[in-house]
Structure 1
Amino acid sequence: MSSTATDVRRRRHTLYFLEWAADQRPVYLDTDVDMTRVQAHRAAARDHGRRYSLVSYLLYSAGRVLDRHPEANAVLAPGWPGLLRRPKIVRFDGVTAKVALDRKVEGERTVLSALVPGLETANLREIQERIDRYRGDQAADLPEFKGVRMLGRLPVALGRAAFAAALRAPQRRPGVFGTVSVSSLGHRTVDGFHSAGGTAVTLTMGRVVDRAVVRDGVVVPAPMMRLGLTFDHRVIDGATAADVLTDLHHMLETFDEGTPSPDAGPDPRGADHDRRLLDGLEQGTH
């Protein structure tokens, strides 16, 4: 029987993050989203020479929703270690997504966290252009990931110290860890999953697949997607998280670059659909 030892230097940033994130108190919610409007918009864009990832629609919607729910655009700052540490909740003015990407760093497959800032005002094209920047095979060499490469080279003790120092500076959080985390595995046969990304809210996307739904009493096929929301119970409570998920659900099901809030009127697909709504990356970016 033989074994192979693997150098985990390229994964040290993930190790340090998971050690820190173990302090979170995650609670998991999910919902099924009818992506008919998103898919129609996506197809129309392709006809005009534009290509939009599904994750870009979620980022667009998340920016607007969290701008309306600032209490969920937040993080628990741990403060300095010791008996006198005073954790505090830090809320952010702008919305910056931390998007999980599956990339190779020095030949080793790993997860990189790419930041997409200004989501509260960015349009779909601006968001997609930012995502496209991270698509290439050489994405890991971009300046944005200099810190990740550095953590892999530092001795473990210094790496942990550097990571912890970044966490203790709340004003630096959006530029290092974002204000909301987003992850997608929908480019594979994954219907749904949950993760905790270190922010008050983490959003997860599964694949879009045709399923049977009921509209006005008739069973019809519709492109459905499982949308997961993990929230840190230390920062927000379930009612707030449910409001955020409901708002996201509404924005995606009625997608328009200018979508109103959930109380803006009935859905054109019928009263049953409206009641149901109100009750309730290729390689990482599909």
Structure 2
Amino acid sequence: MRKFAAILAGSAIALVAFSAQAAEKEVAVIVKTVNSTFWQNVQKGVDAAKKDLPEGTTTTFNGPASESAIADEVNMVENAVNRQVAGIILAPSDPDALVPAVKKAWEARIPVVLIDSQIAKSGEQYYQSFLATDNKAAGELCAKEMIAKVGTEGKIAVMSYVAGAGSEIGRVGGFIDYIKAHSKLQIVGPFYSQSQMATALNQTTDVLASNPDLKGIFGANEPTAIGMARALEQSGKAGKVVGIGFDGNEDLQKFVKDGTLAAIAVQGSFQMGELGTQTIAKLLKKEKVEKFQDTGVVLVTKENIDKPEAKNVLY
């Protein structure tokens, strides 16, 4: 009888341990890279919205060493599915490569919220919501500012990041299409930095040297725009060639303030993390969510950089 009681007691302890383990659910946040203040600001948004998640739900934050390490990101999503997380917030670095992994999450009944970039149309049914800047509109906004600053004739360059990334297609495509439709500006590039600042610096240095008549240059994401701005400084072209960047960390803010860059288009990176977490929270509570949610963009210049509209998105 004592032996039976001991077995029962042991089973009860095991049951309690299992229940405690089951009660703590994980939302896996997987971004393009952890080595960027843009994505670190997304994490701050996630942290701010943790309170909205169901009780006992934790978050993890992960990403590859670089945005071009696509296979690493795919593995991170698959690992999250294998450990049966409660939900996934994902910034996909490649629209096609991430489809099978997101499909696995769908098959495992794990809700997925995409931020910043979309996956291919073949995977639309496998995620529940997509939160991002309207990148096409943001690219057009930068193109309008470029035309306003340099006019409709002459030569401009486009410094891009990872060819084929969802955000890159909309952002750079929107910029180039608007320039072609509304001006006679000749476009040099695009050049792809693979989101490496040093690569962007070297590429921009070469572009400036081989195009002494360049009137303007567009840097399409944070590391690319920083490398571009540093090249403008080092070549003595700061303030002479109109520079327009994308994203809004401290380096880019400094370049706007000192005139190296005429403007930066800043996404709501904090909002992506915050709204992404709130959206996962709704899904876990079986509430309806919108398939697409626009997190907005603000064009920041020397004139408005200290105003609330800019401060709300700068990081």
What is the TM-score of this pair, normalised by structure 2? 0.27
TM-score by length of structure 1 reads: 0.29
- Structure number with larger C-alpha Rg: 2
- Which structure has more relative contact order (CA 8 Å, sep 6+)? It is 1
> When you count strand as a share of all residues, which structure comes out higher?
1
